[in-house]
């Protein structure tokens, strides 16, 4: 009698769950619609339909921001929409000459882009950085992606975002006609300077420090990641050259010890350097 009563109660409970629309196994069931959409998005990405890919990846991420393959795909779509891949972006920096005996100062990448194109790249990098950082920091891990898988893209977006911050001199999150192009240069020998120091000097010290701090912290993050790539011969860029360029701009030696050069030369007196968040 007792067994029948318990069986009846169990059956009644199950019927209530079904009637309420509950799936007691939902914690293990895969989201087939998201999986299919991720695959469709990657196919669009490989076919060169970057806007379509970004839209599909965004639908998935809005539903579940922990899906790393969607995050990575959207970051790549955004980079490609800007006209570059992660490798192409980082190559812009790694090909700068650090030989002290060679040539005149070279413009840093994207200093000569017109305002509209520079801002389009700037916004793409900000969006890509958000997604790559989510994977690198462990916020998005499904399925089976981790920091090591995205190191090149992580290095690229932080480095390029740091360089482009030099174009956003009023630090309002966009590059427009209200900003000053100080035309940053990289000198042979691994140093850094502003090509238009008169324009730089029109800014207040607080404004200068805000720009320099933002640039420093982004490039420092990129520099720390480069160190883990130095021994990887499969990467099609000169990582040691890239490391030297970043060190030159940051004003530090190969061990990360400040040299007093680079960005630090422009840090206004009375402000802490390296800035908060740096070394």
pLDDT higher at 272 or 231: 272
Q: For 210-219, write each residue's pLDDT tens digit.
A: 999 999 999 9
Please state the pTM of the whole predicted model: 0.82
Contact 111, 150 (CB under 8 A): no
Q: Give the domain ranges of the chain.
A: 33-266
How far out from the chain centre does Cα 12 lie?
Answer: 53
Does pLDDT of 128 surpass 80? Answer: yes
Q: 17-31, 94-108, 156-170, 265-279 — which is least confidently predicted?
A: 17-31
> Which pLDDT score is estimated for 199?
94
Mean pLDDT confidence for 61-70: 94
Mean pLDDT confidence for 200-209: 96
Does pLDDT of 143 surpass 80? Answer: no
Mean pLDDT confidence for 164-176: 96
> 196 in the Ramachandran plot: left (φ > 0), alpha (ψ -120 to 50) or beta?
beta
Q: 155-159, 195-199, 235-239 — which is least confidently predicted?
A: 235-239
> Which pLDDT score is estimated for 24?
23
| Mean pLDDT for the chain overall | 83
């Amino acid at each position: 009698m007792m067994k029948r009563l318990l069986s009846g109660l169990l059956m009644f409970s199950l019927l209530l769950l079904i009637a309420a629309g509950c799936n007691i196994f939902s914690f293990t069931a895969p989201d087939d619609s998201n999986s299919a959409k991720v695959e469709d998005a990657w196919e669009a990405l490989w076919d060169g339909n970057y806007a379509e890919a970004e839209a599909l990846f965004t639908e998935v991420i809005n539903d579940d921001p922990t899906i790393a393959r969607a995050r990575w795909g959207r970051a790549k779509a955004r980079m490609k929409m800007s006209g570059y891949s992660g490798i192409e972006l980082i190559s812009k920096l790694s090909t700068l000459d650090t030989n002290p005996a060679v040539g005149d100062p070279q413009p840093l990448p994207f200093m000569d882009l017109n305002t509209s194109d520079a801002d389009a790249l700037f916004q793409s990098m900000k969006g890509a950085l958000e997604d790559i950082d989510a994977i690198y920091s462990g916020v998005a891990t499904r399925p089976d992606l981790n920091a090591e898988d995205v190191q090149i893209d992580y290095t690229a977006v932080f480095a390029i975002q740091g360089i482009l911050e030099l174009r956003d001199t009023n630090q309002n999150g966009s590059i427009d006609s209200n900003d000053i192009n100080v035309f940053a240069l990289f000198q042979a020998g691994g140093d850094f300077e502003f090509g238009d120091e008169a324009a730089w000097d029109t800014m207040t010290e607080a404004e200068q420090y805000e720009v320099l701090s933002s640039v420093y912290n982004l490039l420092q993050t990129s520099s720390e990641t480069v160190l883990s790539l130095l021994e990887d011969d499969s990467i099609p860029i000169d990582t040691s050259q890239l490391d030297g360029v970043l060190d030159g701009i940051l004003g530090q030696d190969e061990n990360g010890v400040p040299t007093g050069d680079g960005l630090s030369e422009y840090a206004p007196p009375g402000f802490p350097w390296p800035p908060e968040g740096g070394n």
